[in-house]
Amino acid sequence: MNDNTNVSTSYNIALIGFGGVNRALANIIATDPEAFYHEMGFNLRIIAVSDMFLGSVYSPEGIDMALLIGLPAAQGACANLPNGKATADNEDIIKNSNADIVVEATVTNSVTGQPATSHCRWALSSGKHVSTTNKGPLAFAEKELIDLALNNNVGFEYEGVVMSGTPVLRFADKLLKGSNINRFAGIVNGTANYVLGLVEQGQSFADAITSAQQQGYAEADPSADIEGKDVMLKVIVLANRLWNANLTQDNVQCEGITGLTETMVKEAVAEGCHWKLIGKASKQDDGSIVASVSPEKLPIEHPLAGIGGAVNAITFTSGMLGDVTVSGPGAGRIETAYAILSDIIAIHQRKEG
């Protein structure tokens, strides 16, 4: 790891992927640097960006933030920046730049976990901290990457992968530690929840999905959200984190909301119920994990039934406390960028400690 600590602590950041989330992070960093340092106790300097569509730029002393914030979303746009070029340069930037922290925010590949898994592997192996919002590396190579981080004495943080800006992983790790969590069930896909809410209001599924895309909740290809694959990966990440399990996609029964109809959704409301896409897992007496993703018709008194819009919620069941429900934003660019910031804070506290 490169140590750029002078009078004040400063971290060099390389952004891999420059879509909505990393753009939002850049805006947070650039808005009021003095206030940021006063609040956080450290400075952040973006020294590299690499994006498959926009190209790449590497300036070891820091990229001009005004130019970066104003970068148009046009193919090869990085070529118009000083030291920029029209093509991505992920591997070289990750391995050979003077970055202290690599922020991996590329689109999740739910089939292979690539290229994000390689991005994390390269960074950790070269002694750089990693914050990722990408579920792929955790679902496909969590143990390997955690071991790499430990062996190279760097942080590997991924708070944003389950509930975006809501710190559910650290909540379970720190505030519920020792409570003997044996089950969780939750709404962990804001897109599916938002779509179901609009259908309840009378929209068709097609129109509701289009609205979710316009709001920035859904990708151009929304299949991972509506078919349940996104929830499945999050269930895997959370279960493995809670119970040090080896859950994979082969162990999780998965069904999305594509089997629901507008009529089914409206009839449920008339009955005083709500359809929700639920991801859940439980630890059995023999230590095995049972996990699934499926739509469930919940009665109004259920703690998850009233969760609306892009809000997410998870109910943890523990031997000592019973049910504890955590809810908060589960989608959105700013919200996910905040999760990255919380990862960087954790890396800083680890370093300072």
**Rounded CA separation 173/316 (Å):** 12
Give the CB-side neighbour count of residue 112, counting CA atoms within 13 A.
5
**234 catalytic, yes or no?**
yes
Query: In DSSP terms, which residues pair with 50 in a beta bridge?
Result: 16, 56
Radius of gyration of the CA atoms of the chain, in A: 21
- Give CA separation, 76 vs 88, 118, 179, 251, in Å: 9, 23, 51, 41
22, 105 Cβ separation under 8 angstroms: yes
What count of other Cβ atoms lies within 10 Å of the Cβ of residue 95?
14
**Residue 325 CB neighbours (<10 A):** 13
Which among 159, 183, 163 is positioned nearest to 313, based on CA atoms? Answer: 163
DSSP 108: P
Q: Please tell me which residue in 234, 276, 280, 283 is annotated as part of the active site.
A: 234
Three-state secondary structure along 195-220?
HHHHHHCCCCHHHHHHHHHHCCCCCC
Sign of the CA dihedral running 254, 256, 259, 263: positive
Residues that are catalytic: 234
